[in-house]
Amino acid sequence: MTHDDAFHLKTIEARLLWLSHWMIHSANHIRPKVDGIKIGGHQASSASMVSIMTALYFSALRPEDRVAVKPHASPIFHAMQYLMGNQTLEKMQNFRGFGGVQSYPSRTKDISDVDYSTGSVGLGVAITAFGSIIQDYIQTKDWGRDLLLGRHVALVGDAELDEGNVYEALQEGWKNDLRNCWWVIDYNRQSLDGVVHEGLFGRIEKIFEAFGWHVIRVKHGVLQRAAFKEEGGIALRDWIDACPNQQYAALTYQGGAVWRKRLEEELGDQGPVSALIGKRSDAELAALMENLGGNCVTTLSEVFASVTDDRPTCFLAYTIKGWGTPIAGHKDNHGGLMTKAQMAEWQKHLGVPEGQEWDKFAAVDDKIALQAYLDQVPFFAKGRRRYVDDTLPVPPIKLDPEREISTQMAFGKILDGLSKGNSPLAERIVTTSPDVTGTTNLGPWVNRRKLFARAPRADAFIEHRIPSTAKWEFTPQGQHIELGIAEMNLFLLLGAAGLAHSLFGKRLIPVGTLYDPFVARGLDALNYACYQGARFIVAGTPSGVTLAPEGGAHQSIGTPLIGMSQDGLAAFEPAFADELAVIMEWAFGYVQRSGEDVPDERTWLRDETGGQSICGYRPIQSNNLSLVPPKIGGKA
């Protein structure tokens, strides 16, 4: 990295820090409010991410890369888009208001280029792994070989690692040979209610390594590393590495004078180390102690640039919550706001003139040079990175209604019929299921269209000529992705696949199956996938109010209510096989409709804008008892 590049990155970092915090301050203390209620925002959580996002977006990333931004870092994201001319002043001034920039980055509500919506913690992290898997899926197909592989990056709050779905995704990624995935952890060691337990990440690190990830600790910035080379520096480094999280945060909040007192008490009279401390002013000492790796754009840029392989990589970036602000390190700063007095003093410290608070280049000496640097940043060089793809024609779907069959079996026959043809629609269908492929009647489809894997894997039962109805052959050309028993992963994969037309310019028609009571197990991820604007079809079995010998374990009367209540999700519970054929033909078209238009009172059913589709079966089989058995195939 050149000296000029480092200088510009520091300038951008300062601009993003100021604009993001001023936006929150303006919403809470300046913008007129009828009720006087706090608008909120996350100044401290944004500040701890500003160096990471500056180094990523303005140095490391390329247009083909995709990012899920930590929810509480949305002010930094909006400030970045505003700096680059992709966000309006009006929407910035209306932060968290109706029509303003969103609390958390949103594909469907923000006008800027959001790759993955985030908000429900943990889900935005995990979907990047499935986005990378879908990217591999597309590139192995004849129609997707021109796809340029990018990295799928999650910016992760350390407290998000408490979410169980993160570890479910790690396991699924390992099984699917995950690559081109980065998770950058904002390790500020503070959550909403307290400080992260000592030594916790040492255990989490082992989990990442067990699943094949490369873990890189980014602990010390350039100032600290330079100090460690001085006489006495090793003792200072050992003290920093041993300092408990809570102590480090408290000392940071109190500033240079308190840092000096504590260091002299514990490291004083050791000759060189005392001189190292003594030759720095209070301000210089505070800057040194707060120069952790995750708060140093130079260190981060160098570390990101050093990773040149496609192995999944976790960066543990040590940061200070609230870094660079008057509330840095305070344990209550998660939802806290700077006071008017603190903001006024901070504004003077940053050199932002009064009246120029919204100026993109306020306090910048050489505006022309900075603009020239911004104009050549690779990530933004190609403009908006949201693509479209052609709508695929839907072939007529017909089913012989003469023979009595369950709607569950009819679903399998419809897909089997598509698998026998060579329609463009069938070519783009990708099916998936959480270990219930056979029992949800996907077997015939999978036997013909195979399972997906980047490297071929033969079915040993076929090799040994052992009869089996399931021919599990894995191949790069396969069109079924088999998952473990984790419904959260199912809906996250459907969410990623259902964005393929927008993320990659290659349309997929994702079809997922599961036992319908287990929709509730993955409900958070289902809602999240719908909120993304992803397009997919879900089929559940058994379903509805029918009874079976196993009782309520595999039955549900709640799933139809879920389908009806979720915005953008068209829900059906067909009782007839020919009815199901009509629904599926309609659904294949519905999930391809343009979602760019905002639904209004006239289109609130999304009949023009399109959406997702969920379908529950009513199984009528010899081992089931229906209270009111519906007729199958004929007229009602």
Task: Output the pLDDT for position 622.
Answer: 25
Task: Output the pLDDT for position 428.
Answer: 98
Contact criterion met (CB below 8 Å) for 63 and 56: no
Select from 376, 380, 353, 377 the least CA-distant residue to 364: 353
> How far apart are the C-alpha atoms of 144 and 507, rounded to whole Å?
10
27-38 confidence digits (pLDDT tens) = 999 898 878 788
78-125 confidence digits (pLDDT tens) = 999 999 999 999 999 999 998 999 989 999 899 999 999 998 889 999
Q: What are the per-10-residue average pLDDT scores of the chain (636 residues)?
A: 91 96 91 82 84 97 96 94 96 92 91 91 94 98 95 92 93 96 87 60 88 96 96 93 86 90 86 90 94 96 97 95 82 76 93 95 95 96 91 90 79 93 96 92 94 88 77 92 95 97 96 90 93 92 53 64 84 86 92 66 59 54 27 32
Task: Output the pLDDT for position 178.
Answer: 97
Q: 136: which 2 tokens? A: 């591999």
0.85 exceeded by the pTM? Answer: yes
Distance from the first to the final alpha carbon of the chain: 72
Strand partners, 218: 317
> How far apart are the C-alpha atoms of 325 and 340, rounded to whole Å?
13
Select from 532, 402, 366, 400 the least CA-distant residue to 4: 366
> How far apart are the C-alpha atoms of 159 and 446, rounded to whole Å?
39
Find where tokens 């990018």 sit: 150
Find where tokens 């809570």 sit: 246
> How far apart are the C-alpha atoms of 467 and 346, rounded to whole Å?
74
